[in-house]
Amino acid sequence: MADALPYKPKPGEIPTEPGVYRFRDAQGRVLYVGKAKNLRARLSNYFAPLHTLHERTRRMVLTASSVEWTVVDSDVDSLQLEYTWIQEFSPPFNVRYKDDKSYPYMAITLADEAPRVIVTRNRRIRGAKYFGPYPKIWAVHDTIDLMIKVFPIRTCSDSSYKKAMASGRPCFPGQIGRCGGPCSMTVTIDEHRAIVDNFVAFMSGGDQRFAKELTKRMSEASAAMDYESAAVYRDRLQSIDAVLQRSALVLPDDTDADLFGIAEDELSAAVQHFIVRGGRVRGVRATTIDKELDIAGADLVDQVLQRTYGDATAADIPRHVLVPVLPDDSTEIEQWLTERRGRRVSVQVAQRGQKAELLKTATRNAAQALLLHKMRRTSDYTSRTRALTDLQEALGLDEAPLRIECYDVSHLGGTNVVASMVVFEDGLPRKDQYRSFGVAETTDDTDSIYQVLTRRLAHIDADDPSTAEPDPQAEGDEPVVTVRKKPRFAYRPQLLVVDGGKPQVEAAARALRDAGGPQIALCGIAKRLEEVWLPGEDYPVILPRTSEALYLLQRLRDEAHRFAITHQRSRRKRDITTVLSDVPGLGQIRIKALLRHFGSVAKLTQATPEQIAELPGIGPTLADSVHRHLANR
């Protein structure tokens, strides 16, 4: 592999000004678009020695055949130009957003003579005021049903409205009390417009003055013994409370902010965008992102903000943008958003208080969305079939690996070494067949892998027909051979996967050779670059980032790691309890009290007898026994 790219610019050709650069392939297709405060400094990173580049970055620069750049006047201009080109060219190596959903909004058609409230996914209605987006369409309908009880505005279609106004007969929703527009013949156009203004004011800020006013009117009607009116005000007040509970108050009333919770792994990211207006969460937008290049969290936040606000109107940009980590060009992004909004916009990391708690909630939702995204890809029948077929082709297998076993090793500083075996059949986990192994003595992870697989392979049934037993009940000239039902641990997998790179794979291959007989396919998946290693190969197999096979291997690896960690922690806890249980006079209640007070056995070991004796229920004699026992371990 040549270490110098033929299209690498000569020294001094690249300017040091801010600008935007594009990598193109031989057909002229734009592969990647990026921005830089200093073009020369940024591009030099791509033309570093190839072996030092991240695998996916190396693949991009080797696929490209040219690079070009455009100098701009400021960093803000480069931000805008980068966004424009990404939208225009859809470069395959830039992050790709998998969110192809159009979310439902509540819209009030303020440009109409008699504005109405509707549920729509169209964000381009002339003169409309939008609220949302809402995660589910039923949530919009429920909110509207509650709101029109308090603010009875028009809900009928334009054709029904025109017909009713021409005929003087209320529209059908007006006849059943679900439309409060002029077509219902109960209010004038001006009166209706005033109700619409109140509707918008309430939704914009959850104005508490409406609740206070309704409470006052209910009390006055009740004092005047006008119980019917008081009941109407009570029902409206209940509707307002229901709306406020639906968008629970989490921040001060004047808070106008967008919060972005992000969870990511090597190939994907999930974003939860919480839209807070008037101190309440008015909408939630979820997005899943495919990452081609290895980008840092700050760069990902940069891309998310560009995507969110690139085509946004001034009304959609809040005063505050809260993110988990500040992008490197946060100052330029603030300036860009301020210019688009027309007023000051701040980009911040929430450090403490209610905003930080809400950001944690958004991040937790993002983590769940990322896990769900990966699980759906693995559990979907079509995706599973494609994953197994892709894996068969990528690894050169004779058949699709319907049974896959994955192994991982876990330890604590070289002690408490354990290993896990997880089983997937037809792309789905078989948790009843998971196994864990204890490794008493080992030198390193490769030795642990060798030991565990040697023990595992010793139990695999060779499937030799000669070992089958004839059925004594059978009649006829030909003996009938019955196959013994194998225990589950004797099932032969079609593929063994180990968590690790070339050293771990070679150790597993040695275990297969030494076991003799079983011919089982083997591979390893290295975590940092998501490379797939085969035994005896000098270079890894690179699966496409959108490959279903890669998602299946990732889930196998993650599940094996989780299972190993769980088993290792349970053993460690059991060992700690066993150590303290050997102290005469120390029962389970006192053991728990000691661990709760000191935090760990290590800290308890460092404590003096006097410090141990300070704990209620531990006298000087017992404290001295505990200290002496731990010191002599």
- For residue range 369-423, what is the model confidence (pLDDT) as tens digits? 787 776 666 666 777 788 888 888 888 888 888 888 999 888 765 566 788 888 8
Please name the residues in contact with 163: beta carbons below 8 A apart, sequence gap of 6 or more: 171
For every residue of 145-166, DSSP letters joined together read HHHHHHS--B-S-HHHHHHHHH
Spatial contact of 259 and 273, defined as CB atoms under 8 Å apart: yes
Residue found under tokens 């079509």: 382
Distance CA 47, CA 60 (A): 11
**Torsion, Cα of 265, 266, 268, 270 (10° steps):** 30
Cβ neighbour number for residue 17 with a 10 Å cutoff: 16
Contacts of 32 (CB under 8 A, 6+ apart): 22, 23, 60, 64, 91, 93, 94, 293
Domains and CATH numbers, the chain: 19-94 (3.40.1440.10), 256-375 (3.30.420), 381-472+480-561 (3.30.420.340), 582-631 (1.10.150.20)
**What pLDDT is stored for residue 217 in this prediction?**
72
Predicted local distance difference test score (pLDDT) of residue 23: 92
Sign of the C-alpha dihedral computed for residues 194, 195, 196 and 201 taken in this order: positive
- Residue 394 gets which letter from DSSP? H
Tokens (6 digits) for 61: 């620069």
Q: Do 445 and 429 meet the contact criterion of CB atoms below 8 Å apart?
A: no
Burial class (CB in 10 A: 0-12, 13-18, 19+), 100: exposed
Structure tokens at 286: 């979820």
Tokens (6 digits) for 210? 């409406």
**Helix axes 381-395 and 548-581, enclosed angle (nearest 10):** 90
Element (H, E) at 287: strand 280-290
Helix (H, G, I), strand (E, B) or coil at 73: coil
Residue 275 CA from chain centroid, whole number:
18
State the pLDDT at residue 580. 66
Helix then strand then coil, in percent of the chain rounded to 5, is 45, 20, 35
| Tokens standing for residue 522 | 């083997």
Q: Is the dihedral of CA 469, 470, 474, 480 positive or negative?
A: positive
Q: Write out residues in the chain with pLDDT < 50, as ranges.
A: 1-2, 100, 246-250, 463-482
Write out the two tokens for 148. 């029109």
Of 395, 436, 437, the closest CA to residue 522 belongs to 395
The Cα 285–Cα 273 span in angstroms is 5
Q: Which of 293, 286, 555 is nearest to 406 (CA)?
A: 555
DSSP 311-339: S--GGGS-SEEE-SS--TTHHHHHHHHHH
Q: State how far the Cα of 461 lies from the Cα of 145, in Å rounded to an integer.
A: 65
* CA atoms of 46 and 60, how far apart (whole Å): 9
**Cis peptide bond N-terminal to 133, omega within 30:** yes
Q: What is the pLDDT of residue 601?
A: 65
Q: How far apart are CA 317 and CA 184, in angstroms?
A: 37
Number of CB atoms found within 10 A of residue 135's CB: 15
> How far is it, in rounded angstroms, from Cα 544 to Cα 529?
12
β-bridge partners, 531: 526
Listed in sequence order, the residues at least 6 apart from 181 whose beta carbon sits closer than 8 Å to its beta carbon are 114, 116, 153, 154, 155, 156, 161, 171, 174, 187, 192
